[in-house]
Structure 1
């Protein structure tokens, strides 16, 4: 495990024994797998120092030497800060994990600046950090739960790659209509747009590859509801909602995909988020408590997901 230390606008990393003999170029390209554009920027702008001096990117590093990365400079904000309470599940100098409430978009568009990203930028500004955060993944407006942001560009680029390579596991809990004949399975069905509806998706042979794993958690015989946990290998729009509906088990409240309107939104919650922290190498596991739909999710212990 690494123990990086923030020093003003710089991050100090004491080179561990397992990095001895590697070069800074190898750390960026092979350990962090940072994009070429990001690596080039750090090289050209002298954003990496070794023991206080400009580093030779191709010189083997010695264990115990001090690598400095310029990560925390102030930035001109691209998103308007908006004061709202946010429920923070985990935070350090590099990442911010928030328990997103329902009925809130993740990121702004031309019409909507009342979003989770606007609230997160305000939160950082209130802490004295003028920073453009990076959204790593998204949740539908009516879906609640854990969502990951990066607090600087290098963390953002590394986490983007980790998400693409399935290094970030997101586990959801859904309440669906009916009972499953199989307690667990894999739904491997491509998803495309529904040409008859502007926002709806559907299983389509010409769509994009989409893979959802599911496992039964609990059944409510009286209400004819099953609780399933789902995790994704791909991140298509409405993926879990489309796949469960395709199986004949639409999510409760998800009227777009056949669910009954017994509650005011789809009963889908991002319950657990886990990944290996790219700068500390710690295993980060976050559970997101339910903030609404107590009448639906009351039987579920989110910390057991």
Structure 2
């Protein structure tokens, strides 16, 4: 675990042994995943110090050196802040996890759209006295609820984006699907592409992107002919769970776009858990998102046992 501390606008990182012999520039390139433009701005803005001195970025660091990064200065955003009563699951100086309600977009779809979850998160951060370039690391469909991860700084967003690409951010969903599954566990490996005949739909396509979904059956609701399942993804394609479950004749309950019956006002899909290693402190973070629907869609279950 990295030893870090915040002092005003500065982040202090005590150099660990695994960084020994790296240059300052290498740390920003290979550990923090900073772009060339970002590195240029850090250099020109004199936002990085090594042991209280502005060193050449080719300088190598040694264990127990202290690198200081001016990370917490105000950074104006183009996103309109909008008040929302947000269920915050985790927050620190670097990131936050929100339990997204259903019927709200993850981000604005047009400049005049001020009603997305991102607008609400920007407002929340601003009310905490921070003006930040907040970024969503992944997204959920408008009618899907649950955990969404946001970065408070562009540099943190870079690291989290890379972690997502490397499948180091694990997300678990709970879903209600029509019918009963033939096995308690299963994996769906089918490529997903756009449906040329429908603007918002996706479909199984041999020319689509690779997609893998794992599922586990938790309960069978025999009276309603529904199965309560969990899903985890190796990939993050648009509508992936919805398309995959529909392709094996178990569409999500309420998901009329993909063949589900309108037994609920929305598709019965909830991102119940997110797990990742903190990009700065290297602590293990695990967040659980309680169900928000009223009236309830999902049966009463212990989400912390998932």
Scaled by the length of structure 1, the TM-score of the pair is 0.95
Aligned to 1:215: 216
Alpha-carbon contact 2:33-2:155 (below 8 Å) kept: no
Output aligned runs, 1:45-194, within 5 Å.
45-110=45-110, 111-194=112-195
Aligned to 1:196: 197
Alpha-carbon contact 1:23-1:58 (below 8 Å) kept: yes
| CA RMSD after TM alignment | 1.6
Residues of 2 paired with 1:6 and 1:98: CA distance?
23
Alpha-carbon contact 1:97-1:147 (below 8 Å) kept: yes
Alpha-carbon contact 2:32-2:158 (below 8 Å) kept: no
Cα deviation code 1:156-184 (max 9, x no counterpart) = 11111111111111111101011111222
SS of residue matched to 1:215 = strand
Question: 1:186/1:126 Cα in 2 relative to 1: closer, same or farther (>3 Å)?
Answer: same
Question: 1:38/1:167 Cα in 2 relative to 1: closer, same or farther (>3 Å)?
Answer: farther
Residues of 1 paired with 2:190 and 2:36: CA distance?
33
Aligned to 1:41: 41
Give the Å deviation of 1:201. 1.0
SS of residue matched to 1:297 = coil
Residues of 2 paired with 1:296 and 1:109: CA distance?
27
SS of residue matched to 1:54 = coil
Residues of 2 paired with 1:125 and 1:32: CA distance?
25
Matched, 1:24 2:48: no
Give the Å deviation of 1:42. 2.6
Where does structure 1 lack aligned partners over 5 or more consecutive residues? none
Residues of 1 paired with 2:219 and 2:247: CA distance?
20
Give the Å deviation of 1:148. 0.3
Residues of 1 paired with 2:158 and 2:61: CA distance?
24
Give the Å deviation of 1:287. 0.6
Give the Å deviation of 1:118. 0.4
Aligned to 1:253: 254
**Deviates further, 82-91 or 201-210:** 201-210
Where does structure 2 lack aligned partners over 5 or more consecutive residues? none
SS of residue matched to 1:303 = helix
SS of residue matched to 1:192 = strand
SS of residue matched to 2:133 = coil
Give the Å deviation of 1:55. 2.6
Number of residue pairs aligned between Structure 1 and Structure 2: 305
Residues of 2 paired with 1:11 and 1:158: CA distance?
16
Scaled by the length of structure 2, the TM-score of the pair is 0.95
Residues of 2 paired with 1:156 and 1:67: CA distance?
20
Give the Å deviation of 1:212. 1.2
